[in-house]
Amino acid sequence: MVCHFIPMIIRRLCLSVFLLVVPVVFISCDEKKGKAENEESKQPEKSTQPEKPSVSEVPNTQKVVKKPTVSLIQKSRIAQARAVCMSIDMAVQNFFQDYNFLPFGDAEKSPEEDMVIKSDDPLISVLTGKEKEINARMIVFLQVRKASGDNESGYRNGIHTDGDKSSIYDPWGNLYHIALDFDYDNKIQHPFKEGVVIRKQAFVYSAGPDGEVGSPEKDRDNVTSE
């Protein structure tokens, strides 16, 4: 009889153990799942908006304006000086065509030999039509922009008139040199090139950036009407 009940008892014990163990397993799984969900909720949400590039990555679309270099400024001044040299040269030629003699600054007598004068000579007033003894019809043969500067700092790059006197300055603040064929042989000895003859009625030049003439080194940067 006892042996008959033993299997039944064993089955009941096994069932009791099963009922005790299974809930523990399910509880353990639920706890792990809950922890995983909590950890995911703590992580920061990823933004769906596109990331903005850093300052170093932002392309610079603005144009960079470079300041003109000294060489470019110097080239511009040389071009301006050459233009004035050519204007004075042309003014002398036009005067000769109209009056059949070369302009000069002394109302008493025209020179008889070639000479070099500077651009503060009364000749400038003759060419600009502000003198009527030599330029009887007061024709304006020469027009030059007004010089910049003042009496203290000096004048440059243009013409300055003080009363009856007019002076023309180059871009570096120096006077121009004007060689004239006053002996009318259509030949002028080149002012700074030995042995070279210029077959013109006039030759105009500036001392250039260094402001000096008189030697090969100083004359190297001269600006001329050639």
The residue ranges of every structural domain in the chain are 70-224
Q: What is the pLDDT of residue 26?
A: 45
Residue 7 is predicted with a pLDDT of: 55
Cα dihedral 95→98→99→102 (10° resolution): 30
State how far the Cα of 157 lies from the Cα of 148, in Å rounded to an integer: 7
Mean pLDDT by 10 residues, the chain (226 residues): 53 54 47 53 54 53 56 93 97 97 85 93 96 95 96 94 94 97 94 92 95 89 92
d(CA 5, CA 11): 10
| pLDDT score, position 152 | 86
Q: Quote the CA–CA distance of 183 and 38 in Å, as a whole number.
A: 112
The three-point CA angle 176-152-76 to 5° equals 45
**Residue spans of alpha helices (H) in the chain:** 2-42, 70-99, 123-127, 216-219
SS3 25: helix
Helix or strand holding residue 187 (H, E):
none
pLDDT at residue 60, as a whole number: 55
pLDDT value for 164:
86
**pLDDT for 27:** 45
Beta-bridge partner residues of 166 = 161
